[in-house]
């Protein structure tokens, strides 16, 4: 009691001068207690509600607007308390670069941001140093454009290849997700700005994303959907976490105290702020009570609700104080609080060079018969596919970036000294112009979030035969676009369209008849079906959506300037429905006519597959795939040798030597898989626990890679005991080029069973 009285007295003295005159009290990092005491309940409530967004109409839709007075086009702000020196802060979308308005009324300057590779591309590099470097460049643009937090990285698991937002996310595996996200976050935060890990948690579909109840077992939650967030929180200390739109086992995540406080804060030690995803008014008091510190994009009625419910006793002021304190602790870290004089002129040219190179390292060579790539003795190329002339840099929605330009494949190949056959180019460019004009005439409105894909142009067999006679080879680009608010379809999206199938068939037939090669480029943010047609072309390069320098990046790989070293971070199945999760996913027409609240996979989705997501299912059950998790080829070859596992106090350290056995310099990704001994719960045949990438090394050179794995990471979650349990026995350690290509092995023996108890929370609310 004496201590509390002393603090009150100190605060009182700070507010008065020697004659009792009031003095200014201004926020500093060391006086947050005083500021908190000085805030009225209305001011505390205002700190928890985002600044009004002039484009936000309210309601229950997921909407984003502008922030005209601070950083135009940014997603939102926090509110100021000017009398106490509390400034507003600015939150801007990501994750492929900062999303702000490129032009401003009455201003002749432009404010474009670099369009970096999408999440699937960055993750497929398996290179945490590269990803941190990309994050550092993105964070510099956040800083220099006057924002304080980037709403990224996106971390949701690729539960199904049909999720429309997979391009923003990293993997079907939580270890890849967590380590790549941590590297990205550390890079951004190296600039003194913050990130927001999103969308916490189980935002596994876009269909009815603001209302669907994701029903997930505690084990699947802990091992699959939360583990990546846990890794990122512990390895990068993010400033913020964004709670997702959806419900999770009953309540909305935004008002789920078990998720936001018990797990995130109490178990993982997160000490930043939690903000909502951009939603209208929900149960604001419940959100505050759960530990959701900031409601975005913010409405005045939410402030009123907090104040009224504190005054009525329905909401404890202590809960408001916790959130307000965390908001103040966040604000004093920001560049805006520190008075940073941002330039509005980041080095876009330098960042373009970073995106060009980083995109090449995430590209995955899926096929390369007879060393078709890199190109040799090729001068003239027939360039097929509308996407060759209309390249897709990134996905749609808040993850889109207002870029200064996009390099298409025609431009990239021309810049690399190759000739694209002119009459075919003219045909496609005329079609592109016609379709773009038609789309503009047909446009009825909308937010224009990102690039729309043009339908493929049919090309007659006669025209293709002519091309096969006058060109040295053919390149076909297959493009796909997806994004926020919509999930993908199987027909004409995951699967190729009839026009695309005919084009691949006719082009390969015609060019092979002339003894000439065909290469397919896949320009997509997510998985497409390949099993039915991959035997036709001579080579297939998965370019992903590689950012604004995409055409140059692809050309760098095709010509051998860069050796592809990317590997898949998700399984490419034979068919979309081979994923067990696709049986419980919102496919077209499945909503039926049941009353709202009872539409399976729309109002609620049962994760019946549990932990059997991706390779955990395919490899354990021996199901055929088109390309396995971790797969990726190179222009050179590698051997693995000298596997060593050394036990330590809390886990093991593993080593393997990689040798370049081919003819050109390159990099290799090595994946460490662990097969656990039997225990009380069923386990997958193996699970990824670590990975590493070599430096670029020459033919004949070797490099020894080191992996560290702690015993906690070996544990499986036992729901009955609410414990992570690492069973005693022998753990088989496999060093793999992919999940089905284990090159060498070693063992690790755990002498006794270890348990790590956690809170018994987040129980499923429907039978699974």
Is residue 406 helix, strand or coil?
A: coil
Give the chain's end-to-end CA distance (angstroms, integer). Answer: 52
Is residue 370 helix, strand or coil?
A: helix
Cα 378–chain centre separation: 37
Strand ranges of the sheet holding 240-243, from the earlier edge strand across to the other edge: 76-77, 90-93, 149-151, 194-200, 240-243, 273-276
Q: Which of 208, 268, 213 is nearest to 238 (CA)?
A: 268
Q: Which of 173, 277, 408, 556 is catalytic?
A: 277
* Structural contact between residues 194 and 334, judged by C-beta atoms closer than 8 angstroms: yes
Give the Å distances, CA to CA, from 382 to 359, 477, 514, 545, 553: 24, 11, 13, 22, 19
Dihedral sign of CA atoms 352, 355, 359, 361 in order: positive
* Structural contact between residues 178 and 228, judged by C-beta atoms closer than 8 angstroms: yes
Residues 6+ apart with CB under 8 A from 314: 285
Tokens of 204: 């596994």
Measured CA to CA, the distance from residue 593 to residue 677 in angstroms comes to 47
Q: Quick check: is 619 catalytic?
A: no
Dihedral sign of CA atoms 576, 577, 578, 579 in order: positive
Please count the other Cβ atoms lying within 10 Å of the Cβ belonging to residue 681.
Answer: 17
Cα 486–chain centre separation: 16
The residue count of the chain comes to: 768
Which residue's entry shows tokens 């051998």? Answer: 560
Measured CA to CA, the distance from residue 366 to residue 360 in angstroms comes to 14
Burial of residue 465 (number of CB atoms within 10 Å: 0-12, 13-18, 19+): middle
Measured torsion, CA atoms of residues 20, 26, 32, 35, in degrees rounded to the nearest 10: 50
Dihedral sign of CA atoms 491, 495, 499, 505 in order: negative
- Could you list the active site residues? 277
């Amino acid at each position: 009691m004496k201590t509390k009285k002393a603090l009150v007295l100190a605060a009182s003295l700070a507010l008065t001068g020697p004659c009792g005159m009031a003095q200014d009290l201004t926020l500093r990092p060391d006086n947050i207690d005083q500021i908190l005491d000085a805030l009225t309940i209305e001011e505390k409530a205002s700190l928890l509600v985002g600044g009004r967004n002039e484009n936000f109409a309210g309601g229950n839709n997921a909407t984003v607007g502008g922030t005209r007075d601070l950083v135009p086009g940014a997603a939102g702000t926090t509110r100021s308390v000017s009398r106490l020196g509390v400034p507003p802060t600015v939150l801007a979308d990501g994750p492929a670069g900062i999303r702000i308005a490129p032009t401003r009324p009455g201003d002749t300057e432009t404010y474009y941001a670099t369009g970096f590779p999408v999440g699937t591309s960055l993750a497929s590099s398996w290179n945490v140093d590269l990803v941190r470097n990309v994050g550092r460049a993105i964070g510099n643009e956040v800083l220099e454009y006057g924002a304080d937090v980037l709403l990224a990285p996106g971390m949701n698991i690729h539960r199904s290849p049909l999720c429309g937002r997979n391009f923003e996310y990293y993997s079907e595996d939580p270890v890849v997700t967590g380590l790549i996200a941590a590297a990205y976050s550390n890079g951004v935060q190296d600039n003194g700005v913050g990130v927001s890990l999103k969308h916490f948690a189980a935002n596994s579909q876009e269909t009815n994303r603001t209302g669907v109840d994701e029903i997930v077992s505690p084990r699947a939650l802990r091992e699959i959907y939360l583990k990546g967030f846990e890794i990122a929180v512990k390895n990068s200390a993010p400033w913020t976490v964004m709670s997702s739109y959806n419900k999770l086992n009953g309540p909305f995540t935004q008002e789920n105290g078990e998720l936001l406080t018990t797990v995130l804060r109490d178990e993982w030690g997160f000490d930043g702020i939690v903000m909502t995803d951009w939603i209208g008014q929900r149960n604001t008091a419940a959100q505050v009570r759960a530990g959701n510190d900031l409601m975005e994009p913010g409405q005045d009625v939410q402030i009123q609700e907090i104040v009224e419910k504190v005054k009525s006793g329905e909401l404890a002021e202590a809960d408001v104080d916790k959130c307000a304190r965390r908001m103040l602790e966040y604000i004093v870290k920001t560049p805006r609080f520190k008075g940073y004089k941002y330039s509005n002129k980041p080095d876009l040219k330098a960042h373009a060079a970073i995106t060009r190179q980083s995109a090449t390292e995430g590209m995955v060579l899926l096929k390369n018969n007879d060393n078709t790539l890199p190109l040799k003795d090729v001068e003239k190329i027939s360039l097929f596919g509308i996407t060759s002339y209309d390249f897709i840099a990134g996905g749609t929605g808040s993850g889109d970036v207002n870029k200064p330009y996009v390099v298409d494949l025609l431009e990239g190949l021309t810049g690399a000294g190759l000739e694209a056959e002119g009459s075919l180019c003219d045909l496609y460019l005329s079609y592109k112009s016609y379709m773009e004009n038609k789309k503009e005439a047909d446009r009825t409105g909308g937010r224009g979030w990102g690039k729309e894909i043009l339908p493929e142009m049919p090309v007659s067999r006669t025209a293709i035969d002519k091309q096969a006679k006058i060109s040295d080879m053919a390149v076909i680009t297959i493009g796909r676009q997806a994004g926020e608010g919509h999930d993908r379809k199987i027909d004409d999206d995951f699967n190729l369209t009839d026009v695309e199938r005919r084009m691949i068939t006719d082009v390969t037939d015609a060019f092979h008849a002339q003894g000439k090669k065909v290469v397919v480029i896949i320009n997509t943010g997510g998985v497409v079906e390949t099993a039915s047609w991959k035997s036709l072309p001579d080579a297939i390069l998965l370019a992903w959506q590689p950012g604004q320098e995409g055409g140059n990046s692809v050309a760098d790989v095709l010509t051998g300037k860069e050796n592809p070293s990317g590997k898949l971070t998700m399984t490419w199945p034979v068919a979309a429905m081979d994923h067990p999760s696709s049986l419980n996913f919102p496919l077209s027409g499945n909503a039926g006519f049941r009353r709202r609240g009872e539409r399976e996979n729309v109002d609620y989705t049962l994760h019946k597959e549990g932990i059997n997501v991706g390779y955990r299912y395919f490899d354990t059950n021996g199901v055929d795939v088109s390309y396995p998790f971790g797969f990726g080829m190179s222009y050179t070859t590698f051997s693995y040798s000298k596997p060593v596992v050394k036990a330590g106090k809390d886990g093991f350290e593993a080593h393997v030597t990689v040798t370049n056995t081919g003819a050109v310099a390159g990099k290799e990704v090595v994946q460490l898989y662990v097969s656990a001994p039997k225990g009380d719960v069923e386990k997958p045949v193996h699970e990824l626990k670590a990975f590493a990438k070599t430096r670029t090394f020459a033919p004949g050179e070797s490099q020894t890679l080191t992996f560290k794995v702690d015993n906690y990471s070996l544990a499986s979650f036992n729901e009955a005991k609410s414990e992570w349990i690492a069973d005693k026995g022998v753990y088989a350690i496999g060093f793999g080029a992919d999940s089905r290509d284990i090159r060498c092995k070693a063992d690790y023996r755990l002498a006794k069973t270890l348990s790590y108890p956690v809170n018994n929370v987040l129980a499923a609310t429907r039978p699974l």
